[in-house]
Amino acid sequence: MPPTFDAHISIIRPMINTDTLLAWGASHKKVSESEIIFSEGQAPHFYFQLDSGSVRWVNINDEGKEFIQYLICPGESFGEMAVFDDMPHSASAIANEDSVVLRLAKSTFFQLLEEEPEIHFAFSRLLSQRLRFKFLLLKELAYADSEHRITTLLEYFKQSRKNICEKSNKVMLTRQQIAKMTGLRVETVIRSIRHLSDKGLVHINHGKVYC
């Protein structure tokens, strides 16, 4: 059975209006596919917000295997946790495709928050929301059942209207991305999705997954 959630989940986006960021001195930066925007362990110097494209926020182990912490969509911020606690970045940000990011100097970002308290409040909600998502993933990692992990992840994204097309319910994640978010092997994800399709919990059409 797919998991259920008590209430509708809303993703907060965009975080800061683009014109506001530019007025405070933010600059656009083009990044190429697979380019590292910042690395885990690097000191934070900027507030980042994705203007276009796609970015993944990942941890990479000694063998080079990635674990996706979050997939960033246009309008969303990333790496702000390190900016707030003034500690090194806890994960690396890598462009999934050619993208454009907005970056604002950390000191200026704090000045902006002082003058715009509603934005500061929005960040408190965002950080709480992302922490809740982390609790969800950690809980699911305790399950050996791969199908349960996948259905929980897809149901979360469906209700939060993120990474799933609202009109068609098409999953906008690759099997590999699902694997990197759930700690599963790609082969396990492929097999599990096929089983979920047989059970009628998802639908596969021309290789695309719908939920």
Question: Per-residue pLDDT averaged across 83-97, rounded?
Answer: 95
List, in order, residues 6 or more apart from 205 with CB less than 8 Å away.
none
When pLDDT is cut at 50, 70 and 90, the band that residue 12 belongs to is very low
- Domains of the chain (ranges; CATH) run 18-124 (2.60.120.10), 145-210 (1.10.10.10)
Pairing of strands 92-95, 36-38: antiparallel
| Eight-class DSSP state of 164 | B
In this structure, what token pair is assigned to residue 68?
A: 């996706």
The whole-angstrom separation of Cα 80 and Cα 3 is: 30
More confidently predicted of 167 and 12:
167
When pLDDT is cut at 50, 70 and 90, the band that residue 10 belongs to is very low
pLDDT at position 134 = 78
When pLDDT is cut at 50, 70 and 90, the band that residue 158 belongs to is confident
When pLDDT is cut at 50, 70 and 90, the band that residue 2 belongs to is very low
The whole-angstrom separation of Cα 13 and Cα 122 is: 10
More confidently predicted of 25 and 152:
25
pTM of the model: 0.74
pLDDT at position 145 = 86
197 neighbors 204 (Cβ within 8 angstroms): yes
Lowest mean pLDDT among 69-73, 112-116, 130-134: 130-134
33 neighbors 95 (Cβ within 8 angstroms): yes
